[in-house]
A and B are shown apart, each in its own frame.
Chain A
Amino acid sequence: MNVGVARSDDNPTHYYFSQRGMWVSYILIIFMAHLLILSMPFFSTPVAWTLTNVLHDVAMFMILHVTKGTPWLTLDAGKARTETQWEQIDNGEQFTPTKKFLTIVPMALFFLASFYTKYDTVHFVINAGFCALSIIPKLPQFHGVRFFGINQWCR
C-alpha cells in the first residue's frame, strides 16, 4: 500500500488497486457521481440511486472483467494480455483484501439502492441484475473462464 516506491513488479495492474488512497478514491468517485446524478432535476431519488448502481456496475464490469492486458503499460506482451484486470489483481490470488473490498462495494450499493427505492419490484429486478453482473464474475470459480469464447484472447 505504498505510493512512489520502487517496485520490482513491472505490471501495475497487479497492485494499483491495493495502493494507499485507492479504496477511498474509489468510494469518493462513486459518491460524486451519485451527487451529480442526484442534482439533475428530472431524476427522482429512487431513479438516481438505481442509475448510480447500474452505471457503477457496468463501469466496473467493463474495467475489471472486459479489459485485458496492461492498459497502464503498453509494453507487456506476456501472460497479462490473455487476462482480464480482475484476474491480474494481486497476481491472481483469491480472497485478498482488495478483492474482498471490490466485491463488497457493489453489494453495499445494492443495499443502498434497495433502501432508497423502497423495495420496489421494477427497481429490484434492474438493481439485482446489474449487481449480479458485477459480482458473479468475481467468484473464484470463474477465474479464467470465458463463456462461449466471449472476450477470448486470440492471436
Chain B
Amino acid sequence: MAIIPATWDMYEMFQAIFQAPTYHLIFEALLILWIIKLIFSKSYAPGKTVLTEKEKEALIEDWHPEPLAPDVPDDHPVLQAMNNNIISGKAEKYVTVRGKRCINMATLNFLGMVGDESIEAVTIKCLRKYGVGSCGPRGFYGTMDVHLELEDRLAKFMHCEEAILYSYGFATIASAIPAYSKRGDVIFCDEGVCFAIQKGLVASRSLIKYFKHNNMEDLERLLLEQQAEDQRNPKKAKATRRFLVVEGLYNKHGDICPLPKLIELKWKYKLRIFVEESFSFGVLGASGRGITEHFGINVDEIDLIAASLENSIGSCGGFCCGKKYVIDHQRLSGLGYCFSASLPPMLATAAIEALNIMERDPGICQTLRNNCRMVHDGLSKLSYFHVGSDPLAPIQHLYLTEPSADRDLDTCTLQKIADEAIKNGVALTLSRYLEAEEHHLPLPSIRVAVNAKLSNEEITKVVATIAEASRTVLCTSSL
C-alpha cells in the first residue's frame, strides 16, 4: 500500500488491517453498529408504565377504600367496658366507678403508692419548682438534678453499678432489647412474655426462638440445637450473640420464672440474660428488690434488669440497671432514651419518694405478700374459677374452670362477673390483650390486682363478692 510510507514505525501494524480476517471485520462492524445505536438511543427509566385515561378510570372505579376505623358492633365487650367503667377521682385503694365506691382490685398499685400523701406533697413541691414537662430528651436539655438523683437511687437500691431512666414503662424493655441484639443474633425468649418485650424482639430484627412458658427442658432443647448449629459453623458462631429474655414475674400468667435454673443455663451455654422485672420489682424479695433478692442470687449474675416504675412505684417511666459498661451503651443506643422527652421531673420526684418509703419501711413488701397469699387462698376456694397465679404474685388471674370453645363468650361471661362485682363494691377488670398481635394468647381471665394497703376484712369482702358475683352470673346464665 503506497499511502503509508514504508519507513514509518507503525507501517506493519497498519498493513495488518488490510490482511485482517473476515470474521474479525464482521465482529468489529457489529461493534461499530452497536456504538452508533448507543449514541443515538434515548435514555429511559425502566418499569414506568404509562396509563391511558380509560385505564385510569377503571383503576379508580375498582378501588374501594377500607374504613379508617374497623366496623365494631356496639355491644363489643371492650367498647362496653370502656363506656361503662368510667372512674372519677383518684385510683387509689378505693375507686369510684360510675358513682359507686369500690375496693380497687383493678389497677396495678401494689404498694399503694398512688394516693400516698407524702408522695403527693413532694410532687406538688417539685411541680412548683420545675413546671410540668422536662422540655427535651435527656441528652438535649432534658436532664434535671432529680433524674440523676433517681438513677443514682435506683442503682443503689438494686445494688447495681448504674441505672438508666426511661420516660415510658413500655418503651424501657422495648428499647433495651434492640440496643444490644441486632440482625444475626439469636434471642431465646419465654412464650409468655408481655407485649412490650415482644415489640422489643421484633425491633431487634434478631432470630427469635420461643420456648414453652417456664419449661426449662424446652429451653435446653433449643440451646442444644443452637450449640450443634454453632459447631457446624464456628466462624458464624463467633459473631453471633445469644440472649435469654425472661420476665421475673409474668404479667400474663402471674407466675415466677425459675431464675436459678436460668442462671445455670446462662453460664453453661454462654448466654446474656435480660430479666424484665416490671411486676416483680417492689413485690418479690424481703425489701422489694425483685426476683434476684427472692432467690438470693447476686444481681451481678444478671446482665440487664429492666423494670417499669408504673406498677409498684406508682409513678411513670421505667429503668434498666446493671454493670456500668452495659448500661452506658443505652445512653446512645436506647432509642426510647435518646429520642423521647425525659420523665417529667415531678414524676421522678414521686419515684424517689416512693423509694424512700420502701427503704424506710421494708415491711410493706411483707404486708403485700401476706395480702397476696390471703387473696390467693381465698380465690382458690372458689368453685367456678381456677387461679393460675403464684401465691406470691400481686396479680391473680382467675380463669373459668369450664371454659367454652368460644373465646368471646368467655370474655363476655367474665365481663358480666366483673360488672356484677362492681355493683357490689369491688372494682375488677379483665386482662386485656391485642389479640391479633400477641405471640401466645392466654385464656381470658379476670386480673385481680392486690394492694398492700388492703386490710384482712377488705380481702374477705373481695373474695366473698367475687364468689357471689360469679354465682349470680353463672347460675342465671346456665338456667
Binding site for B on A (CB under 8 A): 90-97, 99-100, 103-104, 107, 110-111, 114-116, 118-119, 121, 124, 128, 131, 135, 140, 143
Contact = CB atoms under 8 A, between A and B. Distances in A.
B27 A95 contact: no
B35 A104 contact: yes
A116 B13 contact: yes
Interface of B is mostly: helix
A119 B23 CA distance: 10
A92 to B, nearest CB: 6
Contacts of A103: 38
A110 to B, nearest CB: 7
Contact of A111 (B21, B31, B46): B31
B59 interface: no
A103 B39 CA distance: 11
A118 B16 contact: yes
A118 B43 CA distance: 36
A72 B320 CA distance: 36
A95 B38 CA distance: 7
9 contacts: A94-B45, A94-B46, A95-B44, A104-B38, A114-B24, A119-B20, A121-B21, A124-B21, A135-B34
A140 B35 CA distance: 14
B19 interface: yes
Given A114-B24, A119-B16, A94 B43 contact: yes
A93 B17 contact: no
Interface string B4-22: 0000000011001101110
Contacts of B24: 114, 119, 124
The 3 closest A-B pairs by CB, nearest first: A118-B16, A119-B20, A95-B43
Which residue, of B12, B13, B46, has the highest number of chain A Cβ atoms within 10 A? B46
Contact of B19 (A95, A114, A119): A119
Contacts of B47: 92
Nearest to B20: A119
Nearest to B48: A93
Contacts of A124: 21, 23-24, 27
Contacts of A114: 20, 24, 28
Interface string B314-325: 000000000000
A40 B20 CA distance: 28
Among A93, A119, A124, max chain B CB count under 10 A is at A119
A86 B308 CA distance: 51
A91 B28 contact: no
Interface in B17-65: 17, 19-21, 23-24, 27-28, 31, 34-35, 38-39, 41-47
B45 A91 contact: yes
B364 to A, nearest CB: 49
Contact of A115 (B13, B19, B31, B45): B13
A93 B43 contact: yes
B39 A119 contact: no
A110 B29 CA distance: 12
Contacts of B43: 90, 93-97, 99
A131 B30 CA distance: 13
A38 to B, nearest CB: 15
Nearest to B18: A119
Contact of B35 (A95, A97, A107): A107
A139 to B, nearest CB: 10
Nearest to B37: A95
B17 A100 contact: no
A45 B317 CA distance: 76
Contacts of B41: 95
B127 to A, nearest CB: 43
A94 B43 CA distance: 5
A35 B43 CA distance: 35
B31 A110 contact: yes
Given A107-B34, A110-B31, A118-B13, A93 B44 contact: yes
Given A94-B43, A118-B16, 12 more contacts: A90-B43, A92-B45, A93-B43, A95-B41, A95-B42, A95-B43, A95-B44, A104-B35, A114-B20, A115-B16, A115-B17, A116-B13
Interface centre among A95, A124, A135 (most CB of B within 10 A): A95
Contacts of B42: 95
A114 B31 CA distance: 13
A109 B171 CA distance: 60
A121 to B, nearest CB: 7
Contacts of A90: 43
A114 B30 CA distance: 14
A1 to B, nearest CB: 15
A103 B36 CA distance: 12
A111 B28 contact: yes
A100 B45 CA distance: 14
Contacts of A111: 28, 31
Nearest to B15: A118
